[in-house]
Amino acid sequence: MIEDIKKACQVMNEGGVILYPTDTIWGLGCDATNPEAVRKVYEIKQRSDSKAMLVLVDSPVKVEFYVDNVPSIAWDLIELADKPMTIIYSSARNLAPNLLAEDGSVGIRVTNEDFSRQLCQRFRKAIVSTSANVSGQLSPANFSEVSEEIKSLVDYVVTFRQNDISHPKPSSIIKLDKGGVLKIIRQ
């Protein structure tokens, strides 16, 4: 696992795209602060950059670096979450502009899964996390469901958990507006 993390960080530091296991499904990842790397992910997914992608961080503290004025309810939601939860914040900052939604919002998930948490810790920046599929196709729950096309288009494929055939569920998604107004997008 450690060698995978080192290699994945090296690839992302060089602007590359990785295929990796997350706290939910297998995902495509890159440096969330690098617009060129983010563009590569959109190309691989054959997806318009008007549709935002979420990012992973390893600690609630890091949310404040990427969001201007985190609503106080966010801290309770993060602390009380018993499964992976993505929160969409209305005013993102310090991220690649082409990663954000048209309204300037971004989805951030604090990962507690061992591999993705350690990857985020070592990389020291937010990491894009979007399903490892062409837009419109089914999201791969495990490595065996990732298409050969996707595998061939990334710069590095993580070996950790490739034999895991479990089917984790996608994260819940909650949108928080500036006034702390909460909207459940996906449970």
Give the pLDDT confidence score for residue 169 in this predicted structure.
78
pLDDT digits (tens, 9 = 90+) for 84-102: 999 999 999 999 999 999 9
- Of 91, 59, 49, give the one whose Cα is nearest residue 176: 91
Domain membership of residue 75 as a residue range: 2-186
CA separation for the pair 82, 103 (Å, rounded): 29
Count how many domains the chain has. 1
CA separation for the pair 71, 144 (Å, rounded): 39
Work out the average pLDDT over 44-70. Answer: 91
Give the pLDDT confidence score for residue 50 in this predicted structure.
67
CA separation for the pair 79, 177 (Å, rounded): 19
What is the pTM assigned to this prediction?
0.93
Q: 115, 5 in Cβ contact below 8 A? A: yes
Q: Does the pLDDT at position 106 exceed 90?
A: yes
CA separation for the pair 55, 69 (Å, rounded): 18
Q: Does the pLDDT at position 48 exceed 80?
A: no
At residue 18 the predicted structure's pLDDT band, cuts being 50, 70 and 90, is very high
* CATH number of the domain where residue 127 is located: 3.90.870.10
- Of 170, 177, 20, give the one whose Cα is nearest residue 85: 170
At residue 181 the predicted structure's pLDDT band, cuts being 50, 70 and 90, is confident
